[in-house]
Amino acid sequence: MDAAPPQHPHTPRDKDPHDVDLDVEIDIEIVRGAPTSAQFEALNDLARSAEQADGNPPYSEQTLIELQQAIGTAAQDTAAQTNAPQAVSDTTSGTTSSTTSGAEAPLEIAYAWTRDGERLLAGAGVVVLGDGGHSQDSSPDVLELVVRPSYRQHGIGTQLVDALHKGPLSPETGRLRRAWAHGEHDAVAPLSARFGWAPIRELQRLRLSTPEDVPEAELPESVTIRSFEPGRDDEAWLMANAAAFADHPEQGHLTLEDLHSRMAEDWFDPSGFLLAEENGELLGFHWTKVHPRDPEEGRDEALGEVYVVGVVPEAQGRGLGKALTLAGIEHLHRRGLRAIMLYVDADNTAAVELYRRLGFTRWDVDIMYAPAPHR
């Protein structure tokens, strides 16, 4: 959950830093299903504003894909587009709820709109719905929340979480619930504790600034590396990915639709999607990514990414993970990238140690929260 930083030292002691500042009036609207085109643009504008200020995107790639897929589904739902959503208003809380076209999309979105003439989106909480299960093996409902930098320190994050906590993220649903906080925001821990949530997972972001110093990849003689071929390798890669990440809460559950959604992105480059084969059998892969230069998002130069590296269980222990990592870094360096980043779970100590030996250093961190168990 991305929320406001704590109040400045001059704040009166008797004032709760999460209390709503009455000089900012907002309306909370919770919508199930796809956002409208106007809502989607407002979400993008909000995200750009936060990323420029924080240096971190407030929404994960999977959340952005879910939003884009929902927009596409809603656009095809011509019958529903002719009918405006019917909002049910709760006059005591100032919160409204509605359903839009594309309502089958697995989304619940809380919008915090300002009441002034501009009606700006001051904050939003996007919940990507899981499978509705109750066990730890189920796919959870996942929240990502952001407040516009110029509207922080006004309790908007608290209002959004409170509305969601009484609605789609209510404990009474019995569903598995999670939340991501992207970057180290000072207010996240107290806000999560206020609603009885606690950190359960740490995803580190590491950065390599000297790719030229990385050694060359060394492969077993019988193993070769080639680039991914769209249409030919889709199903084989999907099976290898599921096997390599069988215990991973997100990566191991990617579908063919998820793969194709990523392949449709502007950044997709099959030449940087490396496959390791032995006698025609796919053993592992390194999918690289390039973030183009974008000063508005704080990137003065293009940035390479070790997007995902995986090795099927039968081929593990042969050094393929390291070799594929090096091959991908070499590919990015040949493209002229002078900085490379990656994400890794903090408890994956073997991977963390490998990356640090290669010269990666800690850059930032994402924290996942979950409701704390009752004692």
Whether the CB-CB separation of 341 and 178 falls below 8 Å is answered with no
Residue 165: CA atoms inside 13 Å, Cβ hemisphere, count? 17
Q: Is 309 annotated as a binding residue?
A: yes
Question: CA–CA distance from 302 to each of 13, 241, 293, 296 (Å)?
Answer: 45, 27, 4, 13
Q: Is 146 annotated as a binding residue?
A: yes
Retrieve residue 20's tokens. Answer: 């709503």
Q: Is 250 annotated as a binding residue?
A: yes
Q: Is 316 annotated as a binding residue?
A: yes
Q: Is 15 annotated as a binding residue?
A: no
> Rounded to 10 degrees, what is the CA torsion of 121, 58, 138, 341?
160
DSSP sequence for 333-355: HHTT---EEEEEETT-HHHHHHH
Buried b (16+ CB within 10 A) or exposed e, 20-34: eeeebebbbbbbbbb
Cα–Cα distance for residue pair 261/250, rounded to 1 Å: 15
Q: Is 359 annotated as a binding residue?
A: no
Place of tokens 């929320």: 3
Q: Is 296 annotated as a binding residue?
A: no
Q: Is 61 annotated as a binding residue?
A: yes
> Rounded to 10 degrees, what is the CA torsion of 29, 34, 36, 38?
70
Cα–Cα distance for residue pair 129/143, rounded to 1 Å: 9
Q: Is 207 helix (H, G, I), strand (E, B) or coil?
A: strand
Q: Is 310 annotated as a binding residue?
A: yes
Cα–Cα distance for residue pair 309/88, rounded to 1 Å: 47
Q: Is 297 helix (H, G, I), strand (E, B) or coil?
A: helix
Q: Is 343 annotated as a binding residue?
A: yes
Retrieve residue 120's tokens. Answer: 């700006």
Q: Is 305 annotated as a binding residue?
A: yes
Q: Which has the closest alpha carbon to 342: 246, 203, 214, 183?
A: 203
- Binding-site residues for acetyl-CoA, in ranges, read 145-147, 309-311, 316-322
- Binding-site residues, in ranges, read 61, 145-147, 250, 289, 305, 309-311, 316-322, 343
